[in-house]
Amino acid sequence: DVKVTQSSRYLVKRTGEKVFLECVQDMDHENMFWYRQDPGLGLRLIYFSYDVKMKEKGDIPEGYSVSREKKERFSLILESASTNQTSMYLCASSLPVGGIGYTFGSGTRLTVV
C-alpha cells in the first residue's frame, strides 16, 4: 500500500519557535506538496517541489520555507512560529504527469501557543 507519512499527528509549539514538519513518501514520486487546511478556506498550497533540491512557492508561502534534499522527503519549516500558523498541515505527492492525482498524508495538526 503506497504511503505518504507525516512524522507527527499533533504538535504544540510556542510562538517564536522554529518548527519542522516532515513528510516521507515511498512511491518514488517526483512531485511533493505542502498544504494547510483551515475550516471554510479549503486547502491552500504553501510550497511544492518538482524534484530534489527544487522548490516553488505556492499561494501562501509567507512565513514558511521548505527543504527537499532527498526525493522521498519534503520538509516544511516555520522559521518563527506564530499563532496564525495554527492549522492542519497536509503533505501530498504525485507523479510528474499532470492530473494523475495526489496521495495525501494523514496531516499534522499544529497548535502554536
Q: Which residues bind to other proteins, rule: CB under 8 A?
A: 31, 33, 35, 40-45, 48, 58-59, 90, 92, 94-102, 104-107
By beta-carbon proximity to other proteins, the closer residue of 69 and 98 is 98
Query: Shortest CA distance to 105 belongs to which of 63, 74, 62?
Result: 74
By beta-carbon proximity to other proteins, the closer residue of 81 and 90 is 90
Q: What are the phi and psi torsion angles at 85 (to 5°)?
A: -100, 5
What is the nearest approach in angstroms of other proteins to the Cβ of residue 68? 15
What is the nearest approach in angstroms of other proteins to the Cβ of residue 13? 22
Q: For residue 109, what are the β-bridge partners?
A: 10, 88
Query: Shortest CA distance to 33 belongs to which of 63, 7, 62, 57?
Result: 57
Q: What is the rounded CA–CA span in Å between residue 59 and residue 109? A: 20
* Cβ contact 86:78 at 8 Å: no
What is the nearest approach in angstroms of other proteins to the Cβ of residue 86? 18
Q: Which amino acid is at 48?
A: F
By beta-carbon proximity to other proteins, the closer residue of 63 and 102 is 102
What is the nearest approach in angstroms of other proteins to the Cβ of residue 76? 17
By beta-carbon proximity to other proteins, the closer residue of 10 and 14 is 10
